[in-house]
Copies of this chain bind each other. A is one copy, B any other.
Amino acid sequence: MTSIIPKIEAILGGEHVSTAEEDLLCYAYDATNRHYRPDAVAFPGNADEVSKILKLANQHRFFVVPRGAGTGMSGGALAVQGGLVLVMTRFSRILSIDTENFVAAVEPGVVTGHFQEVVEEKGLFYPPDPASASFSTLGGNVAECAGGPRAVKYGVTRDYVLGLEVVLPTGEIIKTGVRTAKGVVGYDLTRLMVGSEGTLGIITKIIFRLLARPEVVRTLSAVFARIHDAASTVSEIVRSGVLPRTVEYMDQAAIRCVEDHLKIGLPVDAGAMLLIDIDGSPSAVEATLGQLVPICEGKGAHEVKVAGSAQEAGELWRARKGISPALYKLGPDKMNQDIVVPRSRIPDMVEWIDDLRERTGLTIVTFGHAGDGNIHFNIMLDKRDEETLAKAESAIKELLRQTIALGGTISGEHGVGITKAPYIGMEIGTEELALMKRIKALFDPNGVLNPGKIF
């Protein structure tokens, strides 16, 4: 790599390339908390520079790993085989927001939450809302097909990407998709790129479709003695035809953990809590609340609270968003899975997890996007305790097997990366995997881009 650095510097300018130990250390991590030291870090500023670097990589056969804010949960941004980490945060411009046609063009380094705010100020709405939205960048959201709580009503990142500019692993800069509401000309390269976890190309521009900003959002919480009642409430809500903006749930362990951390008066004896947002016109939202409250009560909720103000709603969401950090009270290490089951199987899955907890004695906390059947399953442990680690690893294998058995998928929004790569064969068949590998080889014949991921 040492001999290559001057060539990279010649492309980017010396100030945008580093091999300083502190930089290598900073860009060795992502949200998986795993650690792979790259050989160098570079900060390109435009697609042309990215293209030149990828051509150089093919010529000299070094690995290139694109990276946004590093908030990914499956290791997509990690240089697991060393090489050059390409930090895309200089691609930070919102290029245009078309308030007539509800279309925006952005660079991949724009922070998700910032983009949301800017479009909302213009009366528009970008629904995808991953938990890391305050830090995550849109390029990573697209590469991983990020989800979030609002997916139950609004879908995931994929559903908002109209087109892309992408640098292929071999250096060609291509444009995919359209800027219009519809478009079916040629193969759908756009959606092949979305969720390909930075293995088929480096995104340098994104065209998003937007919606009109809903006029009002109201938040409702419902507390249940038994998690099964919460789960069957979710089924009943969906069956009723109501489509809330979010239907989140927290189990007892999650409630206790957050309350211990934030002290906001959560019901620590409850079996589960639902957190439901409704949006739309004021009259529609009122009407929906009028339907939801009796559904929750009919299913045994012993406390249903409609937040009276944005502040009250914010407090409730602070609890939900506080779970992930609060979990570390239960152990220094987290092993998390973002499984999805068909919505109606949530009660079965919850029961199965209860049994798993009992059988193994592991510290298991679950919460997630109940409206989608997307359960965030967390084992909190100290990985230095080898016995517990082995038990946790075997529990996860069991969990994923059970997920597949219930007709589910092993990842709803985090992607495969390195964390789920050992398990991909549980879900994807041999022929299908072989085809995906052939596609990877077609795009990246020398295997220079983001190696060691997915497969």
Which residues on A are within 8 Å of B, measured CB to CB?
98-103, 123, 144-145, 147, 151-152, 155-156, 158-159, 168, 172-176, 178-189, 191-192, 194-196, 200, 211-213, 215, 235, 238-241, 243, 280-281, 283-284, 287, 340-344, 369, 371-374, 407-416, 420, 424, 427-429, 431-433, 435-436, 438-440, 442, 454
Contacts and interface: CB of A to CB of B under 8 A. Distances in A.
Contacts of A280: 284
B235 A373 contact: no
A354 to B, nearest CB: 21
Given A100-B235, A284-B283, A344-B100, A192 B184 contact: no
A414 B183 CA distance: 9
A446 B35 CA distance: 45
Given A185-B424, A191-B188, A342 B241 contact: no
6 contacts: A147-B182, A172-B431, A181-B412, A184-B409, A184-B416, A283-B283
Contacts of A188: 145, 158, 191-192, 194-196
A168 to B, nearest CB: 7
Nearest to A243: B212
Nearest to A282: B287
A181 B427 contact: no
Most buried by B among A145, A156, A340: A340
B151 A182 contact: yes
Most buried by B among A172, A183, A280, A281: A183
Nearest to A168: B435
Most buried by B among A158, A159, A213, A342: A342
Q: How many copies does the complex hold?
A: 2
A155 B161 CA distance: 13
A99 to B, nearest CB: 8
Q: Which 5 A-B pairs have the closest CB atoms?
A: A100-B344, A212-B241, A182-B412, A191-B191, A181-B372
A182 B200 CA distance: 21
Given A101-B342, A101-B343, A181-B343, A186 B432 contact: yes
Given A186-B432, A191-B192, A178 B212 contact: no
B98 A342 contact: yes
A192 B186 CA distance: 10
B185 A192 contact: no
Given A187-B192, A187-B196, A174 B431 contact: yes
Contacts of A178: 340, 408-409
Given A213-B241, A241-B215, A185 B342 contact: no
A429 B174 contact: yes
A185 B436 contact: no
Contacts of A424: 185-186
Contacts of A155: 159
A352 B99 CA distance: 23
Given A186-B454, A212-B241, 14 more contacts: A102-B238, A145-B188, A175-B429, A180-B340, A180-B408, A182-B369, A184-B415, A185-B411, A185-B420, A186-B416, A189-B432, A189-B435, A211-B243, A281-B287
